[in-house]
Amino acid sequence: MEKSKKICVGLSGGVDSSVAALLLKQQGYDVFALFMQNWHDASTTLHGDCEWEEDRFVAEMVARKIGIPFYFVDLSKEYRQRVVDYMFEEYSKGRTPNPDVLCNREIKFDAFLKCAEKLGADMVATGHYCRKEIALDSDGQPLKDKDGNHIYRILAGADPNKDQSYFLCQLTQAQLAKAMFPIGDIVKPEVRRLAHEADLPSADKKDSQGICFVGKVDLPTFLQQKLKPSEGDIVEVYDAYYSENGQYEFIRDTLDSLLADGQDRHARMITDYISEDKAVVRPASECPFSSDKISSLSDEQLMRLALPVRYDIEFEMETYRSGKKHIKKTRYKENPYGKIIGKHDGAQFYTIGQRKGLNIGGHKDSVFVIDTDVEKNVIYVGEGHTHKGLSRSCLRVDPEEIHWIRNDLRMLPGEERRYKVRIRYRQPLQDATAVMRDSGLYIIFDTPQRGITPGQFAAWYDGDEMIGSGVI
């Protein structure tokens, strides 16, 4: 890239963006820093103070130390409209959005980029641990689109413990063309070392946590800005429920029928979760399911396979007499499928896989949320991380929600590919078969995945390259 290009660094006050600015300056680019404020309300943060003011102060000191101009922009209006309001809407429907992915798509590489361009920037650089490359054809020549523009690849960061490519899974080629990731090729300890050598004020600053540009929050308190608390039941689901559940039986039998010859019968699915650090590691080409058998599934079968088990347990009341005076009381009749074990303050405040904040005792193992029903305001839970309702083996991405980073790698209806997939940041990549149909993209995992939640982003990779993503 020409050193004459003017680069705007999104300087957050953290060590990563600080070193990104330092490296670009050392490489001879014309660099300036732009700090953006996206949130004003400190009442919802756990610290209860204006963290952004401290971040701005540190960012400005870093810019002075490096010797680059420093600017400030308030994007709180755009952030609330494009990120926070979306969060409220999704949670109100019982879904769990990822604000960091949205922040990159809607703010950092859209609203922020436009501000940077008004200040004369040709490119925007961030402190993300990921890499960007020009895609090459089989002859090693740069690939270009129909308009003659380079086609770019998003690659995982060199530091496997800090790879942040997942957060960029919704970027377009137009956004990538303007993006730079200066620290994508180095590891976090090296970033800290460079910061210390340069005596940057952010050298020892802790990594940010919580919601992007909001900070670490108490999520229920944050959501209560627009979502009102409402008391409802917490229902524990027993194993007996699954013995007579048609959807559960369909998933089990269908996955069992897809097993390749030579595989142990009875597919490991939602009944047999294995922790990610103990999961069986297979060669990328080795799949427990037969490709031909997957291809034979109809769209209707795939759609049903991707549906989670839902819960509808009715509890009847009965009267009884208690004590010496035989006072008449009422109670729930014993139910073989489940039991009401507590109360919550709103189903919209909980997400699948959550175990904290339930305030439930009396169990040997941890209790996890396995489903929420915001219409009935009921939370369903199960005991233990191997509970039958906690994991799933298949998910579906609606056609309108599928995002391909490169159009030349789009899957066509009827096509199948082997990818590695993650559904949350820091999750190890999981082997899966992607099946493209007119009804959507279906992802069938080799091993069951814990806590698949509507509203999350699934991102799929071919080796180090992120190929696409979509909302579950």
Q: What is the pLDDT of residues 359-370, one digit of tens each?
A: 898 899 999 999
Check if the beta carbon of residue 287 is closer than 8 Å to that of residue 431.
yes
Residue 212 has a pLDDT of 56
Residue 273 has a pLDDT of 45
Segment 152-177 mean pLDDT: 97
Least confident of 42-56, 148-162, 309-323: 42-56
The rounded Cα 184 to chain-centroid distance in angstroms is 20
Segment 272-285 mean pLDDT: 50
Residue with tokens 């960012």: 59
Residue 335 has a pLDDT of 94
Residue 372 has a pLDDT of 96
Other CB atoms within 10 A of residue 143 CB: 15
Least confident of 62-76, 310-324, 342-356, 443-457: 310-324
Segment 143-171 mean pLDDT: 96
Check if the beta carbon of residue 434 is closer than 8 Å to that of residue 460.
yes
Residue 343 bridge partners (DSSP):
233
Amino acid at 280: V
Query: What pLDDT band is residue 267 in, cutting at 50, 70 and 90?
Result: low
Long-range Cβ contact pairs of 342-346 (< 8 A, separation 24 or more):
342/233, 342/234, 343/231, 343/232, 343/233, 343/234, 344/231, 344/232, 344/233, 344/234, 344/379, 345/220, 345/229, 345/230, 345/231, 345/232, 346/220, 346/227, 346/228, 346/229, 346/230, 346/231, 346/232, 346/377
Confidence check: pLDDT of 433 > 50:
yes
103 is catalytic: yes
Residue 191 has a pLDDT of 98
Q: For the chain, what is the mean pLDDT?
A: 90
Residue 453 has a pLDDT of 92
Q: Is 94 left (phi over 0), alpha (psi -120 to 50) or beta?
A: left
Residue 82 has a pLDDT of 93
Percent share of the chain, pLDDT over 90: 77
Check if the beta carbon of residue 443 is closer than 8 Å to that of residue 394.
yes
Residue 226 has a pLDDT of 82
Residue 279 has a pLDDT of 46
Higher-pLDDT residue of 352, 263: 352
Per mean pLDDT, which of 51-65, 283-297, 313-327, 393-407 is the most reliable? 393-407
Residue 270 has a pLDDT of 47
Confidence check: pLDDT of 33 > 80:
yes
Q: What's the predicted TM-score (pTM) here?
A: 0.90
- Residue tagged active-site, from 103, 115, 287, 394: 103
- Residue tagged active-site, from 8, 130, 169, 212: 212
pLDDT in tens, 128-142: 999 999 999 999 999
Other CB atoms within 10 A of residue 226 CB: 13
Determine the Cα–Cα distance for residues 436 and 305; give it in Å rounded to an integer: 14
Q: CA nearest 316: which of 330, 304, 305?
A: 330
Higher-pLDDT residue of 283, 117: 117
Higher-pLDDT residue of 260, 63: 63
Residue 14 has a pLDDT of 94
Residue 153 has a pLDDT of 98
pLDDT in tens, 188-229: 999 999 999 999 999 998 887 555 545 556 677 778 888 899
Other CB atoms within 10 A of residue 254 CB: 19
User: What is the SS3 assignment for the chain?
Assistant: CCCCCEEEEECCCCHHHHHHHHHHHHCCCEEEEEEEECCCCCCCECCCCCHHHHHHHHHHHHHHHHCCCEEEEECHHHHHHHHHHHHHHHHHCCCCCCHHHHHHHHHHHHHHHHHHHHCCCCEEECCCCEEEEECECCCCCECECCCCCECEEEEECCCCCCCCHHHHCCCCHHHHHCEECCCCCCCHHHHHHHHHHCCCCCCCCCCCCCECCCECECHHHHHCCCCCCCCEEEEEECHHHHHHCHHHHHHHHHHHHHECCCCCCCCCCCCCCCCCCCCCCCCCCCCCECHHHHHCCCHHHHHHHCCCCCCCCCCCEEEEEECCCCEEEEEECCCCCEEEEEEECCHHHCCCCCCCCCCCCCCCCCEEEEEEECCCCEEEEEECCCCCCCEEEEEEECHHHEEECCHHHCCCCCCEEEEEEECCCCCCCEEEEEEEECCEEEEEEEEEEECCCCCCEEEEEECCEEEEEEEC
pLDDT in tens, 65-118: 999 999 999 999 999 999 999 999 999 999 999 999 999 999 999 999 999 999
Higher-pLDDT residue of 70, 451: 70
Confidence check: pLDDT of 276 > 50:
no
Delineate the domains of the chain, giving CATH numbers in brackets.
Answer: 6-223 (3.40.50.620), 228-472 (no CATH)
How big is the CA angle at 368 (ends 384 and 245), to the nearest 5 degrees? 80
Residue 283 has a pLDDT of 54
Query: What pLDDT band is residue 426 in, cutting at 50, 70 and 90?
Result: confident
Segment 345-372 mean pLDDT: 93
